[in-house]
Amino acid sequence: MTVTIVGSQLGDEGKGGVVDLYGDAADVVARYQGGDNAGHTVVHDGEKYKLSLVPSGAVRGKVGVLGNGCVVNPETLFDEIDTLRERGLEPDVRVAERAHVILPYHRALDGIEEEEKEDLAAGTTKRGIGPTYEDKAGRRGVRIGDLLDPEVLRERLEYVVPQKKALAEDVFGKETGEEFDIDHLYETYREYGERLAEEEMTVDCGTFLQERIDDGDNVMLEGAQGTSLDIDHGVYPYVTSSNPTAGGATVGTGLGPTVVGDGEVIGIVKAYLSRVGTGPLPTELGGVEGQTPDYDADAGAGGDEEALATTIRDEGGEYGTVTGRPRRVGWLDMPMLRHAARANGFTGLAINHIDVLAGLDEVKVGHSYEFDGDEVYTMPPTTEQWGRCEATFRTFDGWPEVDWADVAAEGYDAIPENARTYLEYISDELDAPIYAVGVGPGREETVIAE
Ligand code: 2SA
Ligand code: MG
């Protein structure tokens, strides 16, 4: 049986808490896309662990798998594993031989391209994610399996590195160093390959997972980022370069769609919206310099919206886990969620962070958009069209600040009534039941709806 966890918005929906909750019942936790652009904090036995690549289940004694749909930076991988070991854990991490490797030139090019693109820059995490997926699609990538075979590794590098070097030097006019040097890369990455082999970490992902499922194990498929950051279904080009949507869980692991579809697909919803990076955001409150398009610091500063945005940002700790950037915040965007519910086929929802909104007089949601004179209920296909959408808001009465730990202990009915009205509106609109409600950052602060 599988449980797939998918972000329904723009990442940082609090997937970690839900992964934790359902991860208890899982024997294996696999990631199916992305790389070290994800970020999760796991609290285990009172210790806090920050991970960006290793699946969080590995901290809790589960087998953690990086699927073939992931892009893997071996340096990050081994750093995280070594740190966990220094702290007394013995993580069991497997990596798909079909997964692609992030090389130093990918990181360098990610930075260079972001500078060049200006208005089109996605505000990436600069981890080399996009350039690695580009090489995957361009059939010039290096895969984890290639690191185990020095001859193949050498051959691949000799083909691809001169192209990358020419791109950096001739197209972008940058000086390049050892990150574009074939011999240096060969030596370093061959060693990573040796370590992967010594520790018997590599797997044929689909076979590995299917065998575990056939043996009766529970497998959790953990998405990173979110639906609106999906390369196909997100707000292109302000997206990541992989498929966080549920379809990615099958392509990115080698399990069939019927296997994934046989299980649960849980949409993680944050009770408001947050976003790092650029692009339109129809329900945005205030703005963040350098991320909000056409942000005017003088006009925005000091206003009511700006103050509300600051409150939500600080209450919710809305600062990027990977880069520390302040996140843009806004009201819930229902057309975005309807789009996500369809694209992912959610069987249930986990709605997080309702505690963050507690104490506000009223809570708004963008119920629909006005788009070129029409009222629309889902996201239009191009981001330029989305940028022309004006949200039509619905207003809900706010709910009080309460002792959320008590609420978590007592269950769903202990959630303040106005918050339940809000939750049930979301569930009705998305035609999916609520499985869980997050009322705080801690592990115990999730209410399971019966
Ligand atoms: P990239 O680096 O190529 O993936 O950047 C492309 C765009 O995708 C955005 N992006 C993210 N936005 C929010 N959260 C992200 N990661 C989460 C974290 C992990 C999660 O906590 O840091 O929620 O699973 C993330 N990763 C990429 C980025 O801002 C660019 O707009
Ligand atoms: Mg996060």
Atom number in ligand 1 closest to CA 124: 5
| pLDDT 10s digits, 247-272 | 999 999 999 999 999 999 999 999 99
Element (H, E) at 137: helix 129-137
Name the residue of 37, 107, 321 to mutate for ligand 1: max ligand atoms within 8 A of Cβ.
Answer: 37
**Considering only CA atoms, which of 296, 294, 293, 321 is closest in space to residue 306?**
296
Residue 212 is predicted with a pLDDT of: 98
Cα–ligand 2 centroid distance for 222 (angstroms): 12
| CB contact at 8 A, 412 and 449 | yes
* Amino acid in the structure at residue 175: E
CA atoms within 13 A on the CB side of 38: 34
Residue 120 is predicted with a pLDDT of: 74
Q: Sort strands 446-448 and 434-438 into parallel, antiparallel or unpaired.
A: antiparallel
> Which residue, by CA, sits nearest to atom 26 of ligand 1?
37
How sure is the predictor about 119, in pLDDT bands with cuts at 50, 70 and 90? confident
CA distances from 334 to 122, 206, 238, 271, 367 (A): 23, 35, 19, 11, 5
Cα–ligand 1 centroid distance for 80 (angstroms): 19
Report the complex ipTM: 0.94
| pLDDT 10s digits, 360-381 | 999 999 999 999 999 999 999 9
Catalytic residue among 20, 40, 135, 233: 40
| pLDDT 10s digits, 6-64 | 999 999 998 888 888 888 899 999 999 999 998 887 878 888 888 999 998 899 899 99
Question: Tokens at residue 310, please?
Answer: 């600051």
Q: Is pLDDT of 229 > 80? A: yes
Is the beta carbon of 240 within 6 A of some atom in ligand 1?
Answer: yes
| pLDDT 10s digits, 153-183 | 999 999 999 999 999 999 999 999 999 999 9
- Judged on CB neighbours under 10 Å (0-12, 13-18, 19+), 380 is middle
The better pLDDT of the pair 94, 125 is held by 94
> Which residue, by CA, sits nearest to atom 5 of ligand 1?
124
Cα–ligand 2 centroid distance for 374 (angstroms): 35
Cα–ligand 2 centroid distance for 242 (angstroms): 16
Angle between helix axes 182-198 and 74-86 (nearest 10 degrees) is 40
Is the beta carbon of 322 within 6 A of some atom in ligand 1?
Answer: yes
| pLDDT 10s digits, 55-109 | 988 998 999 999 999 999 999 999 999 999 999 999 999 999 999 999 999 999 9
> Which residue, by CA, sits nearest to atom 28 of ligand 1?
124
Residue 217 is predicted with a pLDDT of: 97
Model pTM above 0.90: yes
Cα–ligand 2 centroid distance for 262 (angstroms): 27
Residue 277 is predicted with a pLDDT of: 83
Residue 410 backbone dihedrals phi, psi, to 5 degrees: -85, -30
Residue 301 is predicted with a pLDDT of: 58
- φ/ψ region of 76 (left if φ > 0, alpha if ψ in -120 to 50, else beta) reads alpha
Catalytic residue flag (residue 149): no
How sure is the predictor about 300, in pLDDT bands with cuts at 50, 70 and 90? low
Residue percentage of the chain with pLDDT more than 90: 82
> Which residue, by CA, sits nearest to atom 21 of ligand 1?
39
Element (H, E) at 47: strand 47-51
**Chain centroid to CA 281: how far?**
18
Q: Cα(29)–Cα(221) distance, rounded to whole angstroms?
A: 6
Catalytic residue flag (residue 12): yes
Question: Tokens at residue 258, please?
Answer: 């019927």
Atom number in ligand 1 closest to CA 241: 3
Q: Is pLDDT of 450 > 80? A: no
Q: Cα(339)–Cα(450) distance, rounded to whole angstroms?
A: 26
Atom number in ligand 1 closest to CA 223: 24
Q: Is pLDDT of 298 > 80? A: no
Count Cβ atoms below 10 Å from residue 410 Cβ, excluding itself: 12
| CB contact at 8 A, 17 and 438 | yes
Atom number in ligand 1 closest to CA 224: 24
Q: Cα(325)–Cα(275) distance, rounded to whole angstroms?
A: 10
Catalytic residue among 12, 135, 146, 230: 12
Count Cβ atoms below 10 Å from residue 170 Cβ, excluding itself: 9
Q: Sort strands 100-101 and 28-31 into parallel, antiparallel or unpaired.
A: unpaired
Is the beta carbon of 227 within 6 A of some atom in ligand 1?
Answer: no
Is the beta carbon of 235 within 6 A of some atom in ligand 1?
Answer: no
Residue percentage of the chain with pLDDT more than 70: 98
Residue 65 is predicted with a pLDDT of: 98
**Chain centroid to CA 428: how far?**
25
Work out the average pLDDT over 315-325: 83
Name the residue of 19, 66, 132, 240 to mutate for ligand 1: max ligand atoms within 8 A of Cβ.
Answer: 240
How sure is the predictor about 322, in pLDDT bands with cuts at 50, 70 and 90? low
